[in-house]
């Protein structure tokens, strides 16, 4: 874990946090049915490792929570996303574009288990995103609120996390091999 946190990781984390907040805030204001607030987290996870990814996710929501308190309860979710994306990278799932899509799917299918209890306990099942419309429709059709929130997450997360993983993969692929060699996960992302 210690080797994930070299100087380049420490320099990259604030940039990733700013990216997460900027894109996430824009999507939130537009009430889009996705989140797109973890691109920086996934970039750090791919290049630096799962613990660096988890820290980036957690810090992103902590900083974002200073001016948008609704982000604070989702600190564990953001950390989970970074950790799982980093594990996927460690096991080679960001070697090709289709493997990056699989990694995004893995993140998407595991995230509802962390996010749903928070959405239900803190927000009563509807957290105010554009995707909450799906929850409302499911509840109106007779589904319990906890199940509706979980199903909504299962529907929305792949639409959010697969493109996020593919964009992060494309950014990493666009970096020169010389630059990539400076990152802790260089051996896993070498071309």
pLDDT for the residue 128: 66
- Rounded to the nearest 10°, the torsion over CA 66, 17, 110, 27 is 70
Per-residue confidence band for 9, with pLDDT thresholds at 50, 70 and 90: very high
pLDDT for the residue 139: 86
At residue 190, does pLDDT exceed 70?
A: no
Domain 2-103+160-189: top CATH class = mainly alpha
Q: What is the pLDDT of residues 101-151, one digit of tens each?
A: 999 999 999 999 999 999 999 988 777 666 777 888 888 899 999 998 899
- Spatial neighbors of 96 by CB under 8 A, at least 6 apart, are none
Q: Whole-angstrom Cα distance, residue 86 to residue 92? A: 10
pLDDT for the residue 191: 56
Q: Whole-angstrom Cα distance, residue 72 to residue 10? A: 22
* Lookup: tokens for 47: 């290049």
Residue 3: DSSP 8-state = G
Single pTM value for the model = 0.92
| Phi, psi (deg, nearest 5) at residue 115 | -75, -40
CA angle 125, 130, 134 (to 5 degrees): 55
Residues 26-46 have a mean pLDDT of: 88
User: Which residue carries 């929305």 as its tokens?
Assistant: 156
């Amino acid at each position: 874990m210690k080797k994930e946190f070299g100087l380049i990781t420490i320099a990259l984390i604030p940039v990733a946090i700013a990216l997460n907040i900027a894109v996430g805030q824009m999507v939130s204001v537009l009430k889009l049915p996705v989140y797109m607030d973890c691109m920086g987290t996934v970039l750090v996870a791919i290049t630096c490792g799962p613990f660096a990814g988890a820290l980036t996710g957690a810090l992103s929501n902590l900083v974002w929570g200073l001016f948008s308190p609704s982000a604070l309860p989702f600190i564990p979710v953001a950390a989970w996303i970074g950790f799982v994306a980093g594990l996927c990278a460690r096991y080679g799932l960001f070697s090709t574009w289709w493997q990056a899509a699989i990694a995004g799917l893995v993140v998407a299918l595991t995230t509802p288990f962390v996010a749903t209890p928070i959405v239900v306990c803190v927000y009563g099942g509807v957290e105010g995103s554009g995707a909450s419309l799906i929850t409302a429709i499911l509840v109106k059709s007779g589904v319990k609120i906890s199940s509706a929130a979980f199903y909504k997450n299962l529907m929305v997360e792949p639409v959010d996390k697969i493109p996020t993983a593919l964009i992060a993969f494309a950014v990493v692929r666009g970096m020169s091999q010389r630059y990539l060699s400076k990152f802790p996960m260089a051996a896993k992302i070498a071309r």
